[in-house]
Every structure is written in C-alpha cells, then in structure tokens.
Amino acid sequence: MNTFGESIKLTIFGESHGEAIGMVLDGFPAGENIDIDEIKEQLARRAPGKSEMSTPRKEADEPVFLSGLFNGHSTGAPICAIIRNTDKRSEDYHPEKPRPGHADLTAQIKYKGCSDFRGGGPFSGRLTAAMVLAGAVCKQALSRRNISVDASIIRIGPVESSDPDFDFAMRKEILDARASGDSIGGAIECSASGVPAGLGGLMFGGMESRIAAALYAIPGVKGVEFGAGFEIAKMRGSQANDPIRLEDGRIYTETNNSGGINGGITNGMPLVVRCAFRPTPSIGREQKTVDLLKHENTSLRVVGRHDPCIVPRAVPVVESMIAFCLMDVICGA
C-alpha cells in the first residue's frame, strides 16, 4: 500500500521515468485557501539542476491540479495533482546489475522482475516532489492555524551546523565527494512551532509513531529521532526529564528533551525531529554487485546523473511529511 494517514489519506504514485508522478489527498477539509504559487515555491526548493551540489537533471516540476481545488480553495473532494516527467535518460539503467545501496535488487525480488527499474522507478527521489506537493498544501492550512514547520541541514558528513562557516564547509564536503566519484550523507532537523498540546494518541497512533513512519517513507532516510534522541541514552533521569512550569496561566517545560511529545501526545512545546540520510547510493566508483542474468559476481560503476548528496534537496521533503502528519492529526482531533 502506498497510502498513509488516518483522517486524511495521502497516496503517492508514479515512477521516475514514467509519464508523471503525483499525489492524492483524500479527506482534506473544504474551504482552505490554497495558493498555487506558494506550492510552486516549495517545489522549487526541492527541484534538481539548480546548483553543482545536485543532479544536473532539469525538471520544470510544474504541478497540474486535476481535482479538489476551485476558486483558490479546497473543495472537500480529493485533491489530485501530477507533475510530468520531462528529463529522462532511461538508457543509463541496467536491471541485471543492481546498484548496491539502492532498491534495484529488493524491487526485483519483491515484484518478480516486473518493477519499472528506469531511474529507480517508484523508489526514485523524484517521487519526493509529490510529497512536497502534498506538504505544501498542508503547510498553508497549518500556517493559518499559526503552526509553522521549518527544517534545516544540521550535518553533512563530518561537518556540523555548529561548526564555523558551515555553509562553506558543507559545500566543500559535497563537492569533494562528487569530485572523487563518491557521495556523502547528512542529517536534517525539523521544528514545528505553534503545535497545540493534546494531539496524537496511544501507541501506533502516537505522534512519534506517525511521524517516524512518514519520514521513513522518504527514500534515503535511515534514522529518525525526537528531542534529545539517541543522546538521551547517555543521560540520567534528572537531566533528561523536562521540568514542568506554569507562567501566566500557560504550562510549559524548561527544556525540550522529549521533543514536544510525551506518550505519543504533543505537550505544547515545539516538536523537534531529526533524520539521518544515507550517502546517495549511485556513485561513480567501482562497487561489488551480482549479474542477475549470468548468476555471477561482478562489479558496477554507476553512470548517469545523480545527486552527490541527497540532503540539500530533502529539506522541504522532511517539512512536508511532518506537515502532513500534523494536518492529519488535527483533522481527526
């Protein structure tokens, strides 16, 4: 199933080198003002071909809304939008030699060789444009509820955002990786502010459960943590517990090691989530793989146009998945 959500169902569809990719948001409330230009701005943040840090693949990423919007607002009918795939080079992909780290091998096993392998098919980072389409719609509805969702890069390889001249250093890491036919990973932090207390539910319906599931749907995400995350394992309770205070009738916590969530339910503090991205699997270096036709070990040097680092383009994607989860839970509250 490629559908997610409780009150609003989000379906993402398409393949990297197929006709189009797109999304359906079913259950989105009527009467929300939706500005298409704002959606295009969000798509432009993710679009490829804008700097030497991303793939040179050039995609206009022009959304076509097929249903659900009318006279500048949502109608209550399913919102369906597509983006046509325009810049494809399918000859760069060879199904008999699966790329290490990518989904080529698992897709062939799971779908009995029938999966569209061109450009990574449904596993391509291209599908994240459809995630941004959905997220951009949700972000507009959230901002009218005074909720903002903002992500930024906090790590590229060994370089951290707290390091001096982070922008320069991360650019250098990415360009060095590219120059040596390699790729590099990184991490993104996202904070949602204005989130009311009391959203979420028990166990699988908890906010951490929902958001983690949505973030792991982003290709390349290999780790998700909330608040202090894995660092909390090093702490004592007296350090980890967020002291609860009351001021001007408002309950808040002095620290936010829980990342705005206790027991799966929002506590009114900013929601803080980080996710780790793997280095891009497709690299120009020789790697070990198998030839599935000849049934023998072989090697592969990936050609084609790939991002040396996924992370810069994934920032609006992370925001989008979190915005969707928040809108979904708000609509069910």
Ligand X SMILES: Cc1cc2nc3c(=O)[nH]c(=O)nc-3n(C[C@H](O)[C@H](O)[C@H](O)COP(=O)(O)O)c2cc1C
AA identity, residue 245: R
Q: How many amino acids of this chain bind ligand X (CB under 6 A)?
A: 22
Does 310 participate in binding ligand X (rule CB under 6 A)?
Answer: yes
314 is an interface residue for ligand X by CB under 6 A: yes
Contact between residue 192 and residue 271 where contact means Cβ atoms under 8 Å apart: yes
User: For 59, which DSSP code?
Assistant: -
Out of 11, 42, 55, 257, the only residue in the binding site for ligand X (CB under 6 A) is 55
* Rounded Cα gap, residues 65 and 193, in angstroms: 29
Question: Is 63 an interacting residue with respect to ligand X (CB under 6 A)?
Answer: no
Q: Taking a C-beta distance cutoff of 8 angstroms, is the pair 275, 259 a contact?
A: no
Q: Which of residues 72-131 bind ligand X (CB under 6 A)?
A: 102-103, 120, 123-125, 128
Tokens of 286: 């020789």
Q: Which of 313, 319, 327, 328 binds ligand X (CB under 6 A)?
A: 313
Q: What are phi and psi of 323, to 5 degrees?
A: -60, -40
The smaller minimum CB distance to ligand X, of residues 147 and 275, is found at 275
CB burial of 226-243 (b: ≥16 within 10 Å; e: otherwise) equals: bbbbeeeeeeeeeebebe
For ligand X, the closer CB: 257 or 289: 289
Q: What is the smallest separation between the CB atom of 238 and ligand X, expressed in angstroms? A: 37
Residue whose CB is less far from ligand X, 216 or 252: 216
Return the residues of window 215-274 that contact ligand X according to CB under 6 A: 218-221
Work out how close the CB of 116 gets to ligand X at its nearest, in angstroms, rounded to a whole number: 13
Residue placing its CB nearer to ligand X in the complex, 27 or 284: 284
Instruction: Select from 66-74, 76-84, 144-152, 278-286 the region that touches ligand X (CB under 6 A).
Output: 278-286
> Residue 37 Cβ, how far from ligand X at the closest point, in Å?
22
Strand 63-67 and strand 79-84: the pairing is antiparallel
Q: Which residue, 74 or 128, is less far from ligand X as judged by CB? A: 128
- Across the strands, what pairs with 255? none
Contacts to ligand X from residues 130-189, by CB under 6 A: none
Judged by CB under 6 A, the stretch of 170-178, 193-201, 213-221, 239-247 that binds ligand X is 213-221
45 binds ligand X (CB under 6 A): no
Contacts of 172 (CB under 8 A, 6+ apart): none
Give the nearer residue to ligand X in terms of CB position, either 218 or 271.
Answer: 218
- Residue in 281, 316, 319, 321 binding ligand X, rule: CB under 6 A: 281
State the Cα–Cα distance between residues 302 and 184, nearest whole angstrom.
Answer: 15
Q: At what angle do helices 311-332 and 36-46 cross, to 10 degrees?
A: 140
Say if CB 100 and CB 287 are below 8 A apart.
yes
For residue 87, which of 62, 117, 107 has the smallest C-alpha distance?
Answer: 62
Q: Helices 128-143 and 36-46, interaxial angle, to 10°?
A: 130
- Contact criterion met (CB below 8 Å) for 173 and 159: yes
- 54 vs 266 by CB, closer to ligand X: 54
Q: By CB under 6 A, tell whether 282 contacts ligand X.
A: yes
Binding residues for ligand X (CB under 6 A): 55, 102-103, 120, 123-125, 128, 218-221, 278, 280-282, 306-307, 310, 313-314, 317
